[in-house]
Amino acid sequence: MIICCGEALVDMIPMQGPNGGLRGEQVYAPLAGGALLNTAVALGRLGVNAGMISGISTDLFGELLVSALKDSNVCTDFLIRSPSPTTLAFVALNDGQASYTFYDENSAGRRIEEASLPMLPDAVSTLYFGGISLISEPGAYSYYSLAEREHKKRIIVLDPNIRTSFIEDEKSYRARLARVMALADIIKVSDEDLDWLVPGQMEQADKVASLGSDSCIVILTKGSEGTTAYLPNGKVLSQAVPMVNVVDTVGAGDTFNAGFMAKLLALGQLNKADLRNVHETAIQEALLYAVQVAAVTVSRAGANPPWISEL
């Protein structure tokens, strides 16, 4: 089982024209979102036994999030419910690229405490972290504590998915990310994330080498330029992306992560013992599957990962 640990929020998506307001003005439609929820949904739709750990409100938006998880066959047994409000992310789209304005003060996701984290069954092989849930306290520390508690017996996957507009204390955030990266078995970063994590005039390969531990697999995504995997043995693997008509990139990285983990799981490599000695052909297969799954998501509006039947 793969469990996604982090934010589930409501994306407020702009709408105009016939579906807009009474006078044709722009209005917003609430849709389930958040990097970790998107990945959980994608895993569920790909037929993976997936669950989620997140602080979820009991308000109407929280019920929308729970329904979205259940509708995609994601286990909701590990959710931490509270009456605190749901995080809202208002989305602006510019040529298909999304930017976000977050409303997260005292939210259900942000307020989870270490003591409320669930104990996990042996069936859980992998914990996936990242997104804005690693930024704000106390939730950010709680997620780090979960990774630290579980990393010796479960695979830890991290996608920082940097949102600079959300960061209030950059020094603390960088320190926390460094601690989580040191625990991670797999780190996925975009080229933009990498430049923020390791600023300065350095080659990409040198920047990648500075991330994580010596045994960590690092995946670098570069949009239409494809993706590259850097293995602990020094091997570097590349994968081109399919040519598709891009509608928008919302949820593309989240779907990529789901595809990569789903294929490694199907190949029997997503466990501590086998991942240490994983063959490069398995990584190449996982990269190919990941870009194929993500290509479907970018070809349609919003974070709408494909069902396995669509592949």
How many CA within 13 A on the CB side of residue 181?
Answer: 24
Q: Domain 2-305, CATH 3.40.640.10 — does that match?
A: no
Residue 302, pLDDT score: 77
Task: Look up residue 203 and give its two tokens.
Answer: 């080659």
The tens digit of pLDDT for each residue in 189-215 reads: 999 999 999 998 888 889 999 998 989
pTM: 0.93
Distance CA 304, CA 250 (A): 9
Of 72 and 224, the one with more pLDDT = 72
Domain limits, the chain: 2-305
Whole-number percent of the chain with pLDDT over 90: 74
The tens digit of pLDDT for each residue in 78-120 reads: 999 999 999 998 888 777 667 778 898 899 999 999 999 999 9
Task: Look up residue 189 and give its two tokens.
Answer: 């970063």
* Cα torsion 201, 205, 210, 211: sign: positive
Residue 47, pLDDT score: 97
Residue 29 sits at φ, ψ, to 5 deg, of: -105, 130
Residue 96, pLDDT score: 60
Distance CA 220, CA 197 (A): 13
How much is the average pLDDT of 268-295? 94
